[in-house]
Amino acid sequence: MSRSVIFTDDALEILLSIKNYIAGEWGSRQADKFLMRVDKVLKLTAENPYMYKVSSIEETARKGLISKQTSFYYEIHENEILILFFWDNRQDSIFTG
């Protein structure tokens, strides 16, 4: 069963910020490629929600990987995957795991 993917306001804001940063640094084509990668990973996560490990800080959240630079945190609900936020892995982590 594939679940719906829902974004928090924070997740959407961060995703837009990352997209704009990529567009500014490497052009809109690279930004579009990034968004296509996000879409692909989130669809796969919706089909296989347990594929990523549980965060060691927040037991209800899991940490997924978009690229080596970008992770995302999400919760699994009965009919949906809630994307909590995206994270630039080059930053100091507020979470581990």
pLDDT tier for residue 89 given thresholds of 50, 70 and 90: confident
Q: Choose among 67, 70, 68, 64: nearest CA to 82.
A: 64
**In the predicted model, is pLDDT for residue 94 greater than 60?**
no
Domain boundaries, the chain: 4-88
pLDDT at 93 (0 to 100): 52
Pick the CATH number of 4-88 from 1.10.20.10, 3.30.2310.20, 3.40.50.2300, 2.40.50.140: 3.30.2310.20
Distance of CA 5 to the CA centre of its chain: 11
Q: What does DSSP say about strands 4-7 and 62-65: parallel, antiparallel, or unpaired?
A: unpaired
| Phi, psi of 84, rounded to the nearest 5 degrees | -80, -50
In this prediction, residue 92 carries a pLDDT of 54
* pTM score over 0.85: yes
pLDDT tens per residue, range 49-79: 999 999 877 789 999 999 999 999 999 999 9
Instruction: Tell me: pLDDT of 91 over 70.
Output: no
The alpha carbon torsion through 37, 18, 14, 66 (nearest 10 deg) reads 30
